[in-house]
Amino acid sequence: MNLKLIEDYLSAVSSKIPNQKETIPPITKKLAGILKGKKEIDYRRDISEFLEKNYK
């Protein structure tokens, strides 16, 4: 019975979600896929370098 309740809830919620293609902002569409082929991204190091450079 609990599974049916969850299934009904998720079905109701998902029917209210608009089509994702319509909700993606143009800038996001433009940037999609620009990191393909990058081996590894160390975002912590990048953030640290940015902060050190701009706030010394």
Residues 5-48: tens digit of each pLDDT = 888 888 777 766 666 556 777 887 787 777 777 677 788 888 89
- Determine the Cα–Cα distance for residues 52 and 49; give it in Å rounded to an integer: 5
- pLDDT the model gives residue 13: 72
Reported confidence tier of residue 3, pLDDT bands at 50, 70, 90: confident
End-to-end, the C-alpha distance of the chain in Å comes to 60
- pLDDT the model gives residue 51: 92
Q: Which residue has the tokens 């975002």?
A: 43
- pLDDT the model gives residue 8: 82
Q: Is the pTM of this model over 0.75?
A: no
